[in-house]
Structure 1
Amino acid sequence: MTFHRTKWFRYAGWLACSLSLWGGLQAQPLTIEAAVDQSLRQFPTLTAQRSAIEALRANVAVLQANRLPNLRLHSQTNIGTANGLSGSYFSLGLIVPTSGARRAENSGSLATGNIALATADWEFYNFGRFRAEDQLLRADVAVGEAQFDREQFSLRQSVVGAYLDVFWTQQTLRLEGQNLARVDTVRRIIGNLVRNGIKPGLDSSLANVAFSRAKLAYQRVEADYQQARVLLGTLTGQSVATLQIDTTFRADPLLTSIPPVQSTLNHPLLRVAERLVSRQTVEIDLIRKTALPRLSVLAATWARGTSLGVDNEFGSLGSGLGYSRTNYLLGVAATVNLPDFKRAGARVRQQQFRIEQARSQLAAQQIDLQNTLLGADAQLVVVGQQLAELPNALRAARDAYAQRLSLYNNGVETILNLTDALNLLIAVEREVVQTRTEAVRLRFQYAQATNNFEDFYTLFRR
């Protein structure tokens, strides 16, 4: 049992590294670009944004339908009394109008009536309000499209970040597995020497402590690795049980400098603010035009019948069911509400403050992007120097460990010196991974600031 456990720890690093190969027999390893594409195709927030944009575009048909002429048809047949009296009143939609001659007394006799009515009205000119509404709608669609692009950009950031977490924790897991196997080898050698009386028992105790610490370090990284896989699987819609990423990585491009880029124009993070400024400006034009007069064409025709005679006598009820009189009416109306000019002025002033707010937000975002770009440039220079030096440090640490192990086996070195060499080696190996992680993070930051991911993706292409 001890042999199998020791053998497993010896090859733990190899198992972690070959995990993706084993998964590749079942499914194609997921590349960083494929992970982004899958998320952009199926993630719910983007689906909601697409629906919102389509709703804005569908509003074009709503506006066009609202501008069609109104054509109303109406017909009614009535029976009731017909007693009129001089005077004026506000109907308020509650009093039923009655048309009949004035009489000295109130009569309970019934009269019938019949009326058919057709009316039409069309607002054919309003000094550009329709055009302003169309422009505002197009501006709303443009803002929606910019928000969709920003959502895509943010999702790409999340997916790439999750992918890099899986990638680097997998690399660290392989590294910790190698260290675990290395510590286990030293532990077994020391155990044999102690059992043969060549080394003191203290050496075996220290070796067991180092082995336990290496095992704990491996388990901590393994927990981080599984957590990172869960997040990536959630973002890409893949099962965590079968999720395996492509481990292709090219470190050489990290040593090359990036051509300086000064402009951050047409960036998804800026596009929303830019289009909001345009949208708020267009709305000012619409606000002003809503207060202008509206010109309409009006038309009506109607036919009417009544059982009342020309001398106001009550006739047979059936005589009122036909039509005996017809009329028509045509007109052009101009409508303006004078207080609307004052209301529009107040709304325009309010809108101007909103435009200034949007412009200030745009300027702040431009500064943030430029600072991000400059910061990435400055840090990449230092990290590039570290990357160039790390191979020398790694080679020296490996040589020191090999020499200390050889001297220990020959009884020249102590267990403490051997442990120091082993700790130094793992520290340098971890620093290699950490420095590469930082270099890739800065390249990703540079890609985000410039909205150009092509050079970044080449780091992970075969």
Structure 2
Amino acid sequence: MNRCLFLTLFLILVFYQHPSALGQTLGMEEAVEATVNHYPTLAAQRSALEAFRANLQVLRDNRLPNVKVHDQVNLGTANGLSGSYFSMGLIVPTSGGRRPENASDLASGNIALASADWEVYNFGRFGAENKLARADIAVGESGLEREQFALRQVVINTFLDLVWLRQNLKIEQQNLARVDTVRRIINNLVQNGIRPGLDSSLASVELSRAKLSYYQMQEEYRRANVQLATLTGRQVSELEVDTTFNAGLLLVEPAPSAVLTSHPLLRYRNNLLTRQNAEIDMIRKSALPRVTLLTAISARGTSLDINNNFGPLGQGFGYSRTNFLLGAAATVNLIDFKRVKTRATQQQWRVKEAESLLTVEQVQLQNTLTMADSVMSSIRLSLRELPVTVRSATLAYQQRMSLYNNGIENILGITDALQLLTKVEKQVIDVQRRAVSVRLQKAYATSDFEPFFALFRRQ
């Protein structure tokens, strides 16, 4: 049974320490790239960005001349009467001479019309619309970059969970092996009558506790593995994570850095501020006059003669008169100036909001960087102290074990030494985790992830 236990632990240790041939090994940077390439939220952002880009062509198409061609053939009465009215779209217009009586004779007619109007000048509104459209594109591009930045943080944190869980899993394996070794030694001593049977029972309890801790850690590791597989779009059965960790680089002091305006979060806020200002310019110019070129050509035929007599219906289906009209029009709605003033005031508040959010983002990033720089030196002191702590705990365990074998120490002393050693080993991981977290905060604040990724690359 003991051989089976050690064989199982060995196989598990090999499985978690060496990537198998079942799937491709995935490093941290590869995990980030895989997520960015396939994640649905980013696909939605890219689609929205393409819609912003297509809007430029929509604006160009809207500025083309309006060209309308119309032809109609009519058959009806032609009884005219003096007077003016609003047709309201309900009264049929009639063009014909006035007669003393209402005639029921039919007249035919044919009208063809071609017209065009082209807004050629509007005191800069077209330019303002283009500027606003380009600002929307810039916001869309920086929004996509911001979404990628946020998603990268999620992937990195999930990957780090796997790194720390794998190291904790290794500690639980080592602890389980140590406890099983102690249990076998104690069982031999109990069987030979050197130690009381209570020691054997306590050793079995400690082994059971070690197994439970190992199983719990294994469950947490699998959960994190599933989450990373979901983010990267991989099958869980095919996912092999490269948890290379160069802990020695944590002792190296990183180069000085600062928060730059090119940071994805700041770039998004800056572009949003630019976009809000561009909309103010477009709002103000929307009330300015519009100069439009107008042209129209018409042709008409009728079965009525010049004396307003009804003729053969067939004569009305041809064209007997043509007209041409060319002009220019300037249009302005005076009330729009009042509306524009109100809309511009409203937009000014949006500009102030964008300015405040930009300031908040800058302050938060600067605070994050300052905090990371301030605690990094103290964490390095803890890292340098870790080897001493581990050596001391290991010696304490070995000495307690030696004293127990010589009949000087009891089972509780060995249990305490085992628990202390495991606690110290986990404390090493905790300190390293805190140090990596500080490095990640620095990378987040500066958007420079190169030194951080170096911690997890194979040398």
TM-score of the pair, normalised by structure 2: 0.98
Cα distance in 2 for residues equivalent to 1:147 and 1:238: 26
Query: Match of 1:382?
Result: 378
**Displacement of 1:160:** 0.7
Q: Does 2:125 match 1:129?
A: yes
Cα distance in 2 for residues equivalent to 1:33 and 1:24: 20
The aligned amino acid for 2:274 is: S
Cα distance in 1 for residues equivalent to 2:245 and 2:13: 13
Query: Match of 1:141?
Result: 137
Of the candidates 51, 67, 78, which is equivalent to residue 55 of structure 1?
A: 51
Query: Match of 1:311?
Result: 307
Cα distance in 2 for residues equivalent to 1:208 and 1:296: 95
Aligned length: 458
**In terms of mean alpha carbon deviation, does 364-373 or 137-146 score higher?**
364-373
Q: Does 2:275 match 1:279?
A: yes
Cα distance in 1 for residues equivalent to 2:87 and 2:212: 87
How is 1:14-93 mapped onto 2 (pairs within 5 angstroms)?
Answer: 14-20=10-16, 23-93=19-89
> Are the counterparts in 2 of residues 20 and 29 from structure 1 also a CA contact under 8 Å?
no
Cα distance in 2 for residues equivalent to 1:251 and 1:199: 43
**Displacement of 1:242:** 2.1
How is 1:340-355 mapped onto 2 (pairs within 5 angstroms)?
Answer: 340-355=336-351
> Are the counterparts in 1 of residues 272 and 354 from structure 2 also a CA contact under 8 Å?
yes
Q: Does 2:5 match 1:6?
A: yes
How is 1:219-298 mapped onto 2 (pairs within 5 angstroms)?
Answer: 219-298=215-294
The aligned amino acid for 1:297 is: L
Deviations 1:190-239 (A, max 9, x none): 11111111001111121112111111111111111000000000001111
Deviations 1:31-63 (A, max 9, x none): 111111111111111111111111111111111
Deviations 1:385-418 (A, max 9, x none): 1110010000011011111111111111111111
**Displacement of 1:17:** 3.6
Cα distance in 2 for residues equivalent to 1:266 and 1:90: 62
State the SS of the aligned residue for 1:91.
Answer: coil
**In terms of mean alpha carbon deviation, does 265-274 or 107-116 score higher?**
265-274
**In terms of mean alpha carbon deviation, does 22-31 or 292-301 score higher?**
22-31
Q: Does 2:403 match 1:407?
A: yes
Shift in CA distance, 427/156, structure 1 to aligned 2, threshold 3 Å = same
Cα distance in 1 for residues equivalent to 2:134 and 2:141: 10
**Displacement of 1:21:** 5.5
Q: Which runs of 5+ in 1 are unaligned?
A: none
Query: Match of 2:441?
Result: 445
> Are the counterparts in 1 of residues 77 and 104 from structure 2 also a CA contact under 8 Å?
yes
Shift in CA distance, 220/257, structure 1 to aligned 2, threshold 3 Å = same
State the SS of the aligned residue for 1:24.
Answer: coil
Query: Match of 1:459?
Result: 455
Q: Does 2:186 match 1:190?
A: yes
State the SS of the aligned residue for 1:445.
Answer: helix
Query: Match of 2:174?
Result: 178
Deviations 1:243-267 (A, max 9, x none): 1111321111101112232333211
Q: Does 2:206 match 1:218?
A: no
CA RMSD across the alignment? 1.2
Cα distance in 1 for residues equivalent to 2:273 and 2:11: 56
**Displacement of 1:96:** 1.8
**Displacement of 1:3:** 3.4
The aligned amino acid for 2:277 is: T
Cα distance in 2 for residues equivalent to 1:254 and 1:155: 25
The aligned amino acid for 1:107 is: A
**In terms of mean alpha carbon deviation, does 377-386 or 348-357 score higher?**
377-386
Cα distance in 2 for residues equivalent to 1:15 and 1:90: 94
> Are the counterparts in 1 of residues 19 and 240 from structure 2 also a CA contact under 8 Å?
yes
The aligned amino acid for 1:92 is: M
Cα distance in 2 for residues equivalent to 1:441 and 1:35: 18
How many percent of aligned residue pairs carry the same amino acid?
Answer: 56
**In terms of mean alpha carbon deviation, does 328-337 or 261-270 score higher?**
261-270
**Displacement of 1:28:** 3.0
